[in-house]
């Protein structure tokens, strides 16, 4: 069966960013990977009200398409997040979407799903934007892979297979062969301490997933030095954070 990728566009226009997604879709279909492209502007996504109910009660009281979209993301073997660069960062629509996924920072739902980012810009903001997007993927428990960027002067250039080879490799490979970065291991430790000491709902989720006794979300090839650093960080943080009784 073909692998499935969800490509999320967040520009209202079907222009530069969308053009790259279409190019990627056509190339992926030749290597038996199906790509569904969606546009966040086609969905009703309300602004986060900041009530924190999603974090504390696992419920959002806004009635819109977010639950459906968050379920949808979990059905795919890989995700492409894309955005035009606005004021040196992601589009507002993508930020609205990301803010509403806040519960995933505590109770990650995309563990092991590879993510590739695609951004277009007139000229500035690529590094800053991709750094932020990679960090979001890590906080979701997902696995950041390749980043594709184009300026308006190069946006018509075909995407080269080497630009997405890492993404495709991770879609195809056994998760046991994944090599989490130190940033991923540290975020795992932070979330685990929050689960054990701060939010009871998180503890239950982490226990059900079997993560409380793990160094990472799943068995993977963790470099020994990174493992030692992450373990030390975890122990230090665990001691420092006071238990919150709800
Ligand atoms: C509101 C807005 C803000 C932008 N900010 C930047 C920017 O900070 N730096 C830049 O180089 N280009 C900026 N651009 C240009 C877009 O990033 C660029 O045209 C992009 O490729 C548009 O993608 P799209 O065709 O998919 O909408 C901005 C465009 C808009 C409309």
Q: What share of the chain is helix, strand, coil (3-state, %, to 5)?
A: 45, 15, 35
Ligand 1, residue 15: give the atom nearest the CA.
Answer: 25
Q: 111 and 216 in one domain?
A: no
Q: 215 and 143 in one domain?
A: no
Give the separation between CA 61 and CA 86, rounded to whole angstroms: 29
Domain termination site, one of 154, 173, 192: 173
> Band of the pLDDT at 245, cuts 50, 70, 90?
low
Chain mean pLDDT for the chain: 97
> Band of the pLDDT at 200, cuts 50, 70, 90?
confident
**pLDDT of the residue at 150:** 98
Q: Please say whether the beta carbons of 64 and 95 come within 8 A.
A: no
| Poorest-pLDDT segment among 45-49, 131-135, 142-146, 201-205 | 201-205
For ligand 1, atom 16, which residue shows the shortest CA distance? 121
Gap from CA of 100 to ligand 1 centroid (Å):
23
Residue 57: both structure tokens together: 């009660």
> Band of the pLDDT at 246, cuts 50, 70, 90?
low
Domain termination site, one of 153, 173, 193: 173
The answer to whether residue 78 is domain-embedded is yes
Average pLDDT of span 155-182:
97
Here the CATH number for the domain that contains residue 97 is 3.40.50.360
Q: 135 and 216 in one domain?
A: no
A 10 A CB-CB count for 63 gives 9
Ligand 1, residue 152: give the atom nearest the CA.
Answer: 21
Q: Where are the beta strands (DSSP E) in the chain?
A: 3-9, 33-39, 78-84, 114-121, 143-151
Q: 198 and 168 in one domain?
A: no
**pLDDT of the residue at 108:** 97
The answer to whether residue 194 is domain-embedded is yes
Q: 157 and 63 in one domain?
A: yes
Q: 108 and 35 in one domain?
A: yes
Find the domain containing 205 and state its range: 182-240
Gap from CA of 121 to ligand 1 centroid (Å):
5
Q: What is the number of structural domains in the chain? A: 2
**pLDDT of the residue at 120:** 98
Percent over 70 (pLDDT), the chain: 99
The answer to whether residue 245 is domain-embedded is no
98-120: pLDDT as tens digits: 999 999 999 999 999 999 999 99
Residue 66: both structure tokens together: 């977010």
Q: 151 and 103 in one domain?
A: yes
Q: 121 and 212 in one domain?
A: no
For ligand 1, atom 18, which residue shows the shortest CA distance? 121
Q: 53 and 22 in one domain?
A: yes
Q: 207 and 162 in one domain?
A: no
Q: 21 and 91 in one domain?
A: yes
DSSP bridge pairs for 144: 115
CA proximity to 105, closest of 202, 31, 36: 202
The answer to whether residue 109 is domain-embedded is yes
Angle at alpha carbon of residue 175, lines to 170 and 179, rounded to 5°:
75
DSSP bridge pairs for 78: 5
**9 Rama class: left (phi>0) / alpha (psi -120 to 50) / beta:** beta
Percent over 90 (pLDDT), the chain: 97
**4 Rama class: left (phi>0) / alpha (psi -120 to 50) / beta:** beta
Average pLDDT of span 12-36:
98
Domain termination site, one of 135, 150, 173: 173
Q: 71 and 8 in one domain?
A: yes
Q: Decide: 15 in ligand 1 pocket, CB within 6 A.
A: yes
Gap from CA of 157 to ligand 1 centroid (Å):
18
Q: Decide: 122 in ligand 1 pocket, CB within 6 A.
A: yes
Q: Decide: 123 in ligand 1 pocket, CB within 6 A.
A: yes
The answer to whether residue 246 is domain-embedded is no
Q: Decide: 39 in ligand 1 pocket, CB within 6 A.
A: no
Q: Decide: 125 in ligand 1 pocket, CB within 6 A.
A: yes
């Amino acid at each position: 069966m073909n692998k499935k990728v969800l490509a999320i566009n967040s520009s209202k226009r079907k222009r530069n960013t969308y053009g790259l997604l279409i190019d990627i879709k056509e190339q992926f279909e030749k290597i038996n990977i199906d790509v569904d492209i969606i546009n966040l502007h086609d969905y009703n996504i309300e602004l986060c009200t900041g009530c924190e109910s999603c974090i504390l009660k696992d419920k959002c009281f806004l009635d819109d398409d977010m639950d459906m979209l968050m379920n949808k993301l979990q059905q795919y073997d890989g995700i492409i997040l894309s955005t035009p660069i606005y004021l040196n960062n992601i589009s507002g629509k993508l930020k609205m979407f990301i803010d509403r996924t806040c519960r995933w920072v505590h109770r990650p739902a995309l563990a092991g799903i590879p993510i590739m980012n695609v951004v277009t810009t007139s000229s500035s903001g690529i590094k800053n934007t991709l750094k932020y997007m990679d960090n979001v993927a890590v906080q979701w428990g997902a696995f950041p892979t390749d980043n594709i960027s184009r300026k308006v002067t190069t946006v018509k250039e075909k995407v080269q297979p080497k630009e997405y080879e890492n993404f495709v490799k991770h879609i195809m490979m056994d998760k046991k062969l994944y090599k989490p970065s130190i940033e991923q291991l540290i975020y795992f430790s932070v979330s685990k301490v929050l689960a054990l000491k701060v939010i009871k709902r998180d503890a239950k989720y982490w226990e059900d997933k079997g993560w409380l006794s793990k160094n990472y979300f799943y068995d993977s090839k963790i470099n020994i030095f990174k493992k030692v650093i992450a373990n030390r960080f975890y122990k230090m943080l665990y001691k420092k954070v006071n238990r919150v009784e709800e």
